[in-house]
Amino acid sequence: MNRALGEAFHRLGQEARDYADADRALAALRTRRTRRTRRALVAGSAALVVIAGGLAAFQARSPAAPDATVTVVSPAHAVEPPAQAPTLPATGPVGRGALVYTACQSQCPTFLLLADGRQYLLGERTVSPPGNITLSPDGRWLGQPVKGGYEVRDLLGDAVHRLEPPAAPDADSAYSPWAWSADSRRLIVGYHASGDVRTYRTLELPSGRTGELDPPPGQEPVGLLPSGEPLLLDHGQDAEPPLERVTLKHADTGRAVTLASGTGVLADADHGLSVQTNGERVFVLEYAGDRITVLEFDVTGRQVARLPLPPGQYPVGPVDGGYAVIQVPQDQARGRQKLEVVSLAGRRPLFDVPGPAAVVLPGGARH
């Protein structure tokens, strides 16, 4: 795949989730192709992380973390859109979700693939799944926009929880899934109009209890700690690229940690900052020319792994056992995308999907 197409693919994953309509997302991608994406957006799992007492300025360059080895142990599960599939029932148990996907970026149906291989139709032409539709990390809960609000339903039971829009909603506004807790018991959603986020809300599961999250101006919730405490990112840090380190703060205590790049930058004129967490692991992306490296930190801010991605492979997000990446074919119209998990233990295949597909893995949200 050529460099321009690769950059377009990655930026689509970054920018599309600011829009409730897939066509508007594609239009925005065309107009912003040369503009820096300032928010941290990746189609993957939960959010960021971590702390020590007070402001911990961690120097990631010393010692250097090890690179991942490459070991493929089993074939990926090939996914094809069915000629016919039953519509997902409005309520009731169906099975644990493994993947949400549409076979092309627009005009294609969206399907839910269950862990047992069965598929259900979510809609003939839904919003773009990445950044709009979500699966909890354990595959139990499915969230999707519904008539201006947001609905989260139990795929293993009968519960359906709905977040209603504000009393006087803005035109062209929608909820988007922001971050999951690693235990799938809490979800943060953002209510926005064309990317201008006005409100964050929390949903606790399975109770359905909701709450408001009101971070200071200029700060965004980018993850949930195992304790349930949100982590905040102050976007003032990436106002002047290039960015070589980023500081995150606990929403409740103000405790902070600084994560630093190694040999590249965390953001520049061509790449937006990306920070995600999964349990007690924090993941950020490092850029050095055309090379993308996934940096993995523990909750103390210590860098524990560097996972360089080969050409043609792009980041998706944290999943159980590592970090999901996608290999995009040279010929997207005829080829296949390959999803796999990378970690220090090697590489593990996940799914093989149509070349133009847009996908959401369990835990996939804005962060």
**Each residue's pLDDT tens digit, 334-352:** 899 999 999 999 999 999 9
* DSSP 8-state code for residue 18: G
- Rg of the chain over Cα atoms, rounded to whole angstroms, equals 19
Quick check: 111 pLDDT over 60?
A: yes
Q: Residue 336: helix, strand or coil by DSSP?
A: strand
Number of helices (H), then strands (E), in the chain: 2, 26
Spatial strand order of the sheet with 196-204 comes to: 173-180, 186-193, 196-204, 210-213
Q: How many CB atoms lie within 10 A of CB 220?
A: 21
pLDDT score, position 298: 82
Antiparallel, parallel or unpaired: β 256-260 and 55-57: parallel
Q: 82-91 burial, b if ≥16 CB within 10 A, otherwise e?
A: eeebeebeee
Q: Tell me: the pLDDT tens digits for 300-344? A: 788 999 999 998 899 999 998 899 999 998 888 889 999 999 999
**Most distant CA pair in the chain, distance:** 57
Predicted confidence (pLDDT) per residue in 121-157, tens digit: 999 888 888 989 999 999 999 999 998 899 999 999 9
CB 122 within 8 A of CB 108: no
Task: Record the pTM.
Answer: 0.80
Average pLDDT over residues 277-286: 90
Q: According to the model, what pLDDT value does residue 39 have?
A: 33
Per-residue pLDDT at 75:
53
What is the rounded CA–CA span in Å between residue 179 and residue 166? 20
SS3 call for 107: coil
Range of lowest pLDDT (38-52, 226-240, 270-284, 320-334) = 38-52
Section 163-182 average pLDDT? 85
User: What span, in angstroms and rounded, lies between the C-alpha atoms of 213 and 198?
Assistant: 11
d(CA 101, CA 313): 18
More confident residue, 263 or 87: 87
Q: Torsions phi, psi of 299, nearest 5? A: -75, -5
The pair phi, psi for residue 7, each rounded to 5°, is: -65, -40
Which among 67, 76, 15, 34 is positioned nearest to 309, based on CA atoms? 67
Q: What is the C-alpha separation between 67 and 44, in angstroms, rounded?
A: 21
Judge residue 194's burial from the number of C-beta atoms within 10 Å of its C-beta, 0-12 exposed, 13-18 middle, 19 or more buried. Answer: middle
Instruction: Report pLDDT digits (tens) over 9-63.
Output: 444 444 443 334 433 433 333 333 223 333 333 333 322 222 122 222 222 223 3
CA distance 361 to 99: 5
pLDDT given at position 106: 78
* pLDDT of residue 238 exceeding 80: no
Q: How confident is the model at residue 293 (pLDDT cuts 50, 70, 90)?
A: very high
Query: Mapping DSSP to helix (H, G, I), strand (E, B) and coil, where does residue 194 land?
Result: coil
Q: What is the pLDDT of residue 76?
A: 66
Which residue's entry shows tokens 């959010």?
A: 47
| Residue 191 near residue 197, CB atoms below 8 Å | yes
- Of 92, 97, 121, 98, whose CA–CA distance to 109 is shortest? 121
Nearest to 49 by CA among 244, 223, 296, 293: 223
Least confident range from 25-29, 97-101, 134-138, 162-166: namely: 25-29
Q: Give percent of the chain with pLDDT exceeding 90.
A: 52
Whether the predicted pLDDT of 1 surpasses 70: no
pLDDT of residue 53: 25
Q: Which residues contact 25 (CB under 8 A, 6 or more apart)?
A: 12, 15, 16, 17, 18, 19, 128
Strand partners for 162? 151
Query: What's at 159, amino acid-wise?
Result: A
Mean pLDDT of the chain: 79
Sequence-separated (6 or more) residues with CB below 8 Å from residue 250: 51, 225, 229, 230, 231, 232, 256
